[in-house]
Amino acid sequence: RKEVEQDPGPFNVPEGATVAFNCTYSNSASQSFFWYRQDCRKEPKLLMSVYSSGNEDGRFTAQLNRASQYISLLIRDSKLSDSATYLCVVNSISGAGGYNKLIFGAGTRLAVHP
């Protein structure tokens, strides 16, 4: 079983739609959670961190359920420019100093069409 699992998609949605992505992680010791966005094999860029209380950034809302080890991302009012691959990312603490490495899900592809 992979440490971070995501639905690969693709999700094909019209402009203005609301779309939700889900992700589960297997390591209950994970401390930090992120959504990254990757365009066309370019570098991943941080979209938002995910907190237990849930957090919102404009049209994007992220939620974390530690008990279920489940992370979600909601995109409202989709734009053409939202088309990308969304990567669910979890840190994995390693080493005595707690230095983290990131564990990536395989990504969920979103295509927003006119």
Partner 1 sequence: GEEVAQTPKHLVRGEGQKAKLYCAPIKGHSYVFWYQQVLKNEFKFLISFQNENVFDETGMPKERFSAKCLPNSPCSLEIQATKLEDSAVYFCASSQSPTGTGETQYFGPGTRLLVL
Q: Which is nearer to partner 1, 13 or 106 (CB)?
A: 106
Rounded (5°) CA angle 28-30-35:
120
Q: 20 and 74 in contact (C-beta within 8 Å)?
A: yes
> Shortest gap between Cβ of 107 and partner 1 (angstroms)?
4
List, in order, residues 6 or more apart from 101 with CB less than 8 Å away.
91, 92, 94
> Shortest gap between Cβ of 113 and partner 1 (angstroms)?
21
Q: Which is nearer to partner 1, 74 or 102 (CB)?
A: 102
> Shortest gap between Cβ of 46 and partner 1 (angstroms)?
6
User: Rounded CA gap, 20 and 27, in Å?
Assistant: 23
SS3 82: helix
Q: Which is nearer to partner 1, 31 or 52 (CB)?
A: 31
Written as one letter, the residue type at 42 is: K
> Shortest gap between Cβ of 54 and partner 1 (angstroms)?
18
Applying CB under 8 A, the residues found at the interface with partner 1 are 31-32, 34, 38, 41-46, 49, 85, 87, 91, 93-95, 97-104, 106-107
